[in-house]
Amino acid sequence: MKHSSRSEKNCKPVILYTGLDTVSRQVQNIAYPKNLSDPFLREWIKPRYNPVIEPHGRIDAALFRDPSTAWLGRDGSWRLTVGTVIDGNGLAMLYKSKDFVKWVPAENPLYYTNGSGMWECVDFFPLGEARGVTKYMLKVSMFDVSYDYYALGTYDEEGGVFTRDDASSTDYRTWPMIDYGRVYASKTFLDEAKQRRILWGWSNESNSIADDVAKGWAGIQTVPRVLSLDTDGKRLVQWPIEELESLRGEQIHLQDIELETGSQVEVRGLKVSQADVEVEFELQSLIGAEPFDANWIVDPPKLCREKGAYANHGGIGPFGLLVLAADNLEENTAVYFRVFRAEGSYKVLMCADQRRSSKRSELYKPASGGFVDIDIKKERKISLRTLIDHSVVESFGGGGRTCITSRVYPTILLNDNTHLYAFNYGTETVKISELKAWNMAQAQIS
């Protein structure tokens, strides 16, 4: 099974999944629970009439996978999408069915982009309303670059076409990402009890197979995130589910601390290897912001690498957190912001720099980054929430507008002698309005 999605037909659960037929074509199949009285639905039946969707036309039979969760249209027909590629162009193919068994391809794809390569794990759903218009979200895992991108827009059910709100560029690299770090093949589901859309993401490894074998694991699911529309309907907001807060222990609290240039403040009383940290930074002035080069917009990780987290010449920033840090800072992961002055506005860059995360030279240690879409001139404040769970560091900037997940393996984790610092290595003073941190208990899985 390559990838599956859950749907419900007549209030009965159904699994749609990708498999291989006898000639190694990728085909879409269906399965039903064997025993509906089993609360865990542990056994499933694959009917003899599988597959229910086969590759057709110019679709490459080896690149046709990952059916989305099906949705019911106003006309009584079910719809779903499947990811594929034609002539180097990624597509979300749309299919319709009256009975969930016979699926017919739509005349046009739901959406496509030129030169984006194979699309995997396509997800499509209504996210919320803005000015009386229902906004839909299209999420795509782009195989060639191993990142998850998304677009917001409107959906014409009759025509079967999704239209992006931001049609100013056809370059998929300008699309916002679900996560600018190590997250791929994410999938959402609707929590009907609380009417919220929840996303899970795969935080995969990037080191050697031998290293994975030595660790005893490879890859992990991120903390579940609630997806919502920003107040203006133009951006996605992601935030850890509220149930996570039940794992919080005693709170550490700091307030009204000025971080002058080159300074850092340790957050004491915390077991940093398993913690939840929320901090709000306040900018006292924007005069020192560096000029912004428009060419940086398509490659924020490169900008994070070039500017770095440690030089005291950044104007406004770098400022943020040093997590999983050694006593002498020989090892640390920097999660931080920089502010740049663009024409008529300001750009906020968020980075997670792992290049000093471990003394082990053989590990993959990138600098990840993305821009945070906030009006820093108006707000003068920016928030950061960072969840630390040993090798996983998940950070949410600007209230969840930009997310970066890092996989780090500092040698100090072996003795749990880790520290947490708030820092400012820019030339302009930054204030910590408030910092709250908690030790996190182990989740109880039953």
The sign one gets for the Cα dihedral 427, 429, 433, 434 is positive
Judge if 284 and 430 occupy the same domain: yes
DSSP secondary structure letters along 303-358: HHHHH-SS-S--SEEEEEEEEEE-TTSSS-EEEEEEEEEETTEEEEEEEEE-TTS-
Confidence of residue 1 (pLDDT cuts 50, 70, 90): very low
Q: What per-residue confidence (pLDDT) applies to 174?
A: 84
Residue 341 has pLDDT above 60, yes or no: yes
How many domains does the chain divide into?
Answer: 2
Residue 260 within any structural domain of the chain: yes
Q: How does pLDDT run across 313-338, given as a tens digit for each residue?
A: 678 999 999 999 999 999 999 999 99
Q: How many CA atoms lie within 13 A of 300 on its CB side?
A: 27
Judge if 169 and 286 occupy the same domain: no
Residue 184 within any structural domain of the chain: no
Confidence of residue 312 (pLDDT cuts 50, 70, 90): low
Q: What per-residue confidence (pLDDT) applies to 54?
A: 97
Judge if 416 and 279 occupy the same domain: yes
Q: Is the separation of the CB atoms in 202 and 188 below 8 Å?
A: no
**Bridge partners for 275 per DSSP:** 388, 439
Please state whether beta strands 225-229 and 196-203 pair in parallel, antiparallel, or not at all (unpaired). antiparallel
Q: How does pLDDT run across 246-296, given as a tens digit for each residue?
A: 999 999 999 999 999 999 999 999 999 999 999 999 999 999 999 999 989
* Mean pLDDT score of the chain: 93
Residue that is last in its domain, among 153, 175, 197: 175
Residue 429 within any structural domain of the chain: yes
Residue type, 208: S
Q: What per-residue confidence (pLDDT) applies to 3?
A: 57
Q: What per-residue confidence (pLDDT) applies to 10?
A: 62
| Tokens coding 360 | 């082990």
Judge if 166 and 267 occupy the same domain: no
Q: How far apart are CA 105 and CA 155, in angstroms?
A: 17
Judge if 379 and 293 occupy the same domain: yes
Judge if 171 and 256 occupy the same domain: no
Range scoring the smallest mean pLDDT among 177-181, 216-220, 411-415, 420-424: 411-415
Q: What is the CATH number of the domain that holds 316?
A: 2.60.120.560
Residue 309 within any structural domain of the chain: yes
DSSP secondary structure letters along 163-212: EES--S---GGGSPBS-SSS-EEEEEEEETTTTEEEEEEEE---S-HHHH
Q: How far apart are CA 316 and CA 334, in angstroms?
A: 16
Full residue range of the structural domain in which residue 14 is found: 4-131+161-175
Judge if 166 and 291 occupy the same domain: no
Residue 145 within any structural domain of the chain: no
b/e per residue, 288-315, with b = 16+ CB within 10 A?
A: bbbebeeebeeebbebbbebbbbeeebb
Q: Is the separation of the CB atoms in 162 and 93 below 8 Å?
A: no
Judge if 281 and 384 occupy the same domain: yes
Beta carbons within 10 angstroms of residue 3's beta carbon:
19
| 3-state SS class at 264 | strand
Residue 173 has pLDDT above 90, yes or no: no
Q: How far apart are CA 403 and CA 372, in angstroms?
A: 9
The sign one gets for the Cα dihedral 233, 238, 243, 249 is negative
Q: How far apart are CA 67 and CA 293, in angstroms?
A: 40
Confidence of residue 131 (pLDDT cuts 50, 70, 90): confident
Q: How does pLDDT run across 177-234, given as a tens digit for each residue?
A: 999 999 999 999 999 999 999 999 999 888 888 888 888 888 899 999 999 999 888 9
Residue type, 188: T
Judge if 283 and 381 occupy the same domain: yes
Q: What per-residue confidence (pLDDT) applies to 344?
A: 86
Residue 127 within any structural domain of the chain: yes
Judge if 276 and 399 occupy the same domain: yes
Judge if 264 and 372 occupy the same domain: yes
Q: What mean pLDDT comes out for the span 103-120? A: 94
Q: What per-residue confidence (pLDDT) applies to 355?
A: 94
Q: Is the separation of the CB atoms in 374 and 353 below 8 Å?
A: no
Residue 87 within any structural domain of the chain: yes
Confidence of residue 8 (pLDDT cuts 50, 70, 90): low
Q: What is the CATH number of the domain that holds 105?
A: 2.115.10.20
Residue that is last in its domain, among 143, 175, 207: 175
| Tokens coding 77 | 């027909």
Judge if 43 and 169 occupy the same domain: yes
Residue 414 has pLDDT above 80, yes or no: no
Q: What per-residue confidence (pLDDT) applies to 443?
A: 86
Residue that is last in its domain, among 144, 175, 206: 175
Q: Is the separation of the CB atoms in 13 and 33 below 8 Å?
A: yes
Residue 195 within any structural domain of the chain: no
